[in-house]
Amino acid sequence: MEGAADQTTKALSELAMDSSTTLNAAESSAGDGAGPRSKNALKKEQKMKQKEEEKRRKDEEKAEKAKQAPKASSQKAVAADDEEMDATQYYENRLKYLAAEKAKGENPYPHKFAVSMSIPKYIETYGSLNNGDHVENAEESLAGRIMSKRSSSSKLFFYDLHGDDFKVQVMADASKSGLDEAEFLKLHSNAKRGDIVGVIGFPGKTKRGELSIFPRSFILLSHCLHMMPRKADNVNAKKPEIWVPGQTRNPEAYVLKDQESRYRQRHLDMILNVEVRQIFRTRAKIISYVRRFLDNKNFLEVETPMMNMIAGGAAARPFVTHHNDLDMRLYMRIAPELYLKQLIVGGLERVYEIGKQFRNEGIDLTHNPEFTTCEFYMAFADYNDLMEMTEVMLSGMVKELTGGYKIKYNANGYDKDPIEIDFTPPFRRIEMIGELEKVAKLNIPKDLASEEANKYLIDACARFDVKCPPPQTTARLLDKLVGEFLEPTCVNPTFIINQPEIMSPLAKWHRSKSGLTERFELFINKHELCNAYTELNDPVVQRQRFADQLKDRQSGDDEAMALDETFCNALEYGLAPTGGWGLGIDRLSMLLTDSLNIKEVLFFPAMRPPQEESAAAQAPLTEEKK
């Protein structure tokens, strides 16, 4: 009974915080709304709800505290009052405090703080002290964010100081502060959870073995003006393991759980959820590994334009913008391919680019309007070389990050058992058409460019109830069937190879299999991660392929590729036999960080503006501030 009540109180507390952060998010995006009356009505309703929520939370919290601590000290009472305050009042009080400090000529935002040691280093250096030991002749300076605060009297305050994903306790004792009792109490009354502070003092361990710093000086560096969400204190809960690559994540342990709030206020997400910072460190390591791998193979990193006069290089819908001075339309690139190949023509034999691509498409679990890829081009190599390089790169990366070749991945949701994905090379290879025919028991006409093949595939899709929206080109039909029959079987890394020419306008025809190309796609956990081929370097054939794409475009396929005259012209100067390769960095990061939503691996993912009603409700406030 008591446990249940406690749980309910915590849940309500978090709900209140979520509401508060949601309001903040709404506030940040003022939008057009209904008329004045409607706005006022919505505003009143919102305030009413908020007040009710706060009141309920306050009542329950008061009851809880009265039950558990009937003889709370005056200091605890002060802290409790802060925590019981509603978010708006808390914010106003903090602003008043800042204004008061400035009025006295104090600067509440100092310019710097000389850190003598990082918190992880401090822990490493002094972690071996014995319980109760103090090293009063040593002086260290630490800085970080206060995430918890408690006191045992008006002369003794305890803080958890967080920095660089580690924390250390601060034990502030009035008798060592050099301040009189009133000054000491005032200073520490003004230090709130979320504030960033600098501590100068000596190291030691408490009698119970908690490594601490005992401040002789305690300086507020920056202030958290908003109430920091509090972590639910569940004594029975296991302390979650620190996440490392290859293991599954534990989002249930997050202090801030609401996905919308986490993505919209990533700064708060990172403050509260240490695991989130580890995710992004891992992403940085992945990119660093790819770069090192390619640099060691003498590839040259290059930068090609993100804005182009023509949309080309892949089949996708571009963002369009306009250059004022030149008075011309520019397209955000959807792939850097054509420029990188021009560099191979120019005599650079190995080039790569890690950068953003832009596609004006819907947002979902695995798509963001801007995403990061690595593409490389290697003269005198073919797709067999690329498959081998892919295996070496990815298996080596997984080994370096995790110590082994297998990772756990919550492919079916965090509430179900994770699957295991094995990166041990070599990766399985299956031929697209051959395997599709075998698995789906099809007998596809040889000439894939024929009407006969198109009709056959339309029938096959109908028979298997595979949906293919118009236009029903043979390429799209094949794509749907492969998605239905082959992709789901590719959990461990699998190369689907030898795609048909009609699906691969930039890939070279297969040297021994008519109608096919020397292309592969790497699938892991049923999703495409990598796309590569022996590059088409015959300019005559390339022009023909572009012409075919134009036909598809005219029949309504707006993802068909446009002719790029500059690129065709470049090929005519001679492109060496070349292998070209592209990898989705975001998707790879998702796999190696056990993320199901691409937003988890993007610091600031694209978000829909907050709901219009909320925005409308907040509009008056925004106007007021302005």
- Residues placed in the known binding site for Ca(2+): 521, 528
Does residue 614 bind other proteins (CB under 8 A)? no
Q: What angle do CA 252, 255, 259 make, to 5 degrees?
A: 70
Does residue 164 bind other proteins (CB under 8 A)? yes
**Rounded least distance, CB 441 to other proteins, Å:** 33
Piece of 24-32, 63-71, 445-453, 479-487 that binds other proteins (CB under 8 A): 24-32
Residue whose CB is less far from other proteins, 119 or 407 = 119
Residue whose CB is less far from other proteins, 136 or 565 = 565
Does residue 300 bind other proteins (CB under 8 A)? yes
Other CB atoms within 10 Å distance of the CB of residue 470 = 9
Helix axes 74-84, 36-68, angle to 10 degrees: 150
Other CB atoms within 10 Å distance of the CB of residue 542 = 22
E-strand ranges in 95-184 read 140-153, 156-163, 166-173
**Rounded least distance, CB 214 to other proteins, Å:** 21
Residue whose CB is less far from other proteins, 464 or 573 = 573
Q: Could you say which residues in the range 96-135 bind other proteins, by CB under 8 A?
A: 98-99, 107-115, 118
**Rounded least distance, CB 406 to other proteins, Å:** 27
Q: How far apart are CA 390 and CA 522, in angstroms?
A: 9
Residue whose CB is less far from other proteins, 461 or 619 = 619
Q: How far apart are CA 360 and CA 547, in angstroms?
A: 24
Piece of 190-198, 245-253, 391-399, 425-433 that binds other proteins (CB under 8 A): 190-198
Among 207, 208, 238, 267, binds other proteins (CB under 8 A): 267
Q: Could you say which residues in the range 480-539 bind other proteins, by CB under 8 A?
A: 508, 511, 518, 534, 537-539
Helix ranges, 71-145 (H): 74-84, 87-103, 119-126
- SS3 assignment for 200-241: EEEEEECCCCCEEEEEEEEEEEECCCCCCCCCCCCCCCCCCC
Site string for other proteins, 317-346 (x = CB under 8 A): x-xxxxxxxxxx-x-x------x--xx-xx
> How far, in Å, are 433, 449, 459 from residue 452 at the CA level?
16, 8, 11
CA torsion, points 608, 609, 612, 614, in degrees to nearest 10? 120
Residue whose CB is less far from other proteins, 57 or 283 = 283
Terminal C-alpha separation, the chain: 49
Site string for other proteins, 365-404 (x = CB under 8 A): ----xx-x------xxxx--x-------------------
Residue whose CB is less far from other proteins, 265 or 531 = 265
Strands 519-524 and 494-497: antiparallel
Q: How many residues bind other proteins (CB under 8 A)?
A: 124
Residue whose CB is less far from other proteins, 509 or 523 = 509
**Rounded least distance, CB 238 to other proteins, Å:** 23
Q: Could you say which residues in the range 197-236 bind other proteins, by CB under 8 A?
A: 198, 221-226, 228
As beta bridge partners, residue 142 has 199
Q: Could you say which residues in the range 551-610 bind other proteins, by CB under 8 A?
A: 566, 569-570, 572-577, 579, 602-606, 608-609
Among 18, 76, 163, 190, binds other proteins (CB under 8 A): 163
**Rounded least distance, CB 413 to other proteins, Å:** 25
3-state secondary structure of 103: helix
Here the contacts of 148-155 (C-beta below 8 Å, separation 24 or greater) are 148/193, 149/79, 149/191, 149/192, 149/193, 150/79, 151/73, 151/75, 151/76, 151/79, 151/188, 153/73, 153/75, 154/73, 154/74, 154/75, 154/181, 154/185, 155/181, 155/184, 155/185
- Residues placed in the known binding site for ATP: 359-361, 367-368, 528-529, 584-587
Piece of 78-86, 361-369, 414-422, 546-554 that binds other proteins (CB under 8 A): 361-369
**Rounded least distance, CB 27 to other proteins, Å:** 7
Does residue 445 bind other proteins (CB under 8 A)? no
Contact 222, 109 (CB under 8 A): yes
**Rounded least distance, CB 488 to other proteins, Å:** 27
**Rounded least distance, CB 112 to other proteins, Å:** 4
Instruction: Give the tokens for residue 58.
Output: 């306050």
- SS3 assignment for 299-360: CEECCCCCEECCCCCCCCCCCEEEECCCCEEEEECCCCHHHHHHHHHCCCCEEEEEEEEECC
Residue whose CB is less far from other proteins, 57 or 350 = 350
Residue whose CB is less far from other proteins, 127 or 346 = 346
Residue whose CB is less far from other proteins, 354 or 460 = 354
Instruction: Give the tokens for residue 543.
Output: 């022009």
